[in-house]
Amino acid sequence: MSLISSLRLVLSRPHPAGRPFIYGGLAVAVIGGLLLGGWLFWPGVLFTLFCLYFFRDPERVPPPRGQVVLAPADGRVVMAGPAVPPEELGLGPAPRYRVCIFLSVLDVHVNRMPVDGVVTRIAYRHGAFLNASLDKASVDNERNALAIRMPDGRDVAVVQIAGLIARRILCHVREGDQVQAGDRFGIIRFGSRTDVYLPEGARPLVAVGQLMIGGETVVAELLPMANPA
């Protein structure tokens, strides 16, 4: 990545969810500098800079090819293999190939749609705030699950999972919305995980430890559906 590209990533506009934190940091800096003798100025500035970095929302360009599943988030793949989707989505008890992406506080936290389709189900479930890199976080942690039906009728599930210090999951789409691969659909504040459950006929193209770029990295190739007998 070139220096200019790196600067564009770091200096990209912040997500609207970060505005209260950014404005709050600026207020602390101003009040600390003008009214309280300056002792809160630098903590306020540092907090503001951190929030500008954490809530950055760079533009992403999906690959010019169809029939693929894109990464729904930036971060590192911590698990990949069969798992049953969250029961609240109503996708059945059959295991699907799941890719789990862990987002550290240094990653972009804006979530993006992995495929084109229609949002058929959104289900929020309260829970714990365990380390999001643990396998049991899929079941125990607070989460927001979405089901997306692709034009060919197959379903993809995406789950936003709160982490050890994450305390707020935001989702900006509604059931019935038409979405496109790479579209922004939400954000998780301060460390988290995003899982994607692949549909039938998907060929995974990622490995544990691989770094993902949300809305750009191809997670799986969608193979043609077999003709019904």
Taking the C-alpha atoms of residue 97 and residue 223, their distance in angstroms, rounded to an integer, is: 14
Q: What is the pLDDT of residues 80-115, one digit of tens each?
A: 999 999 999 999 999 999 999 999 888 998 999 999
DSSP symbols for 11-68: TSPBPGGGHHHHHHHHHHHHHHHHTSTTTTHHHHHHHHHHHHHHTB-------S-SSE
Q: How confident is the model at residue 229 (pLDDT cuts 50, 70, 90)?
A: very low
Secondary structure class of 69 (helix, strand, coil): strand
Cβ partners under 8 Å of residue 66, min gap 6: none
Positions marked active-site: 192
Between the alpha carbon of residue 104 and those of residues 78, 108, 191, 207, the distances in Å are: 12, 9, 5, 18
Between the alpha carbon of residue 198 and those of residues 131, 159, 164, the distances in Å are: 24, 12, 26
CB contact burial 118-152 (16+ within 10 A = b; e otherwise): ebbbbbeeeeebbebbbeebbbebbbbbbbbbbee
User: Per the structure block, which two tokens stand in for 109?
Assistant: 């936290």
pLDDT for res 180: 95
Q: What is the pLDDT of residues 46-66, one digit of tens each?
A: 989 988 888 889 999 899 877
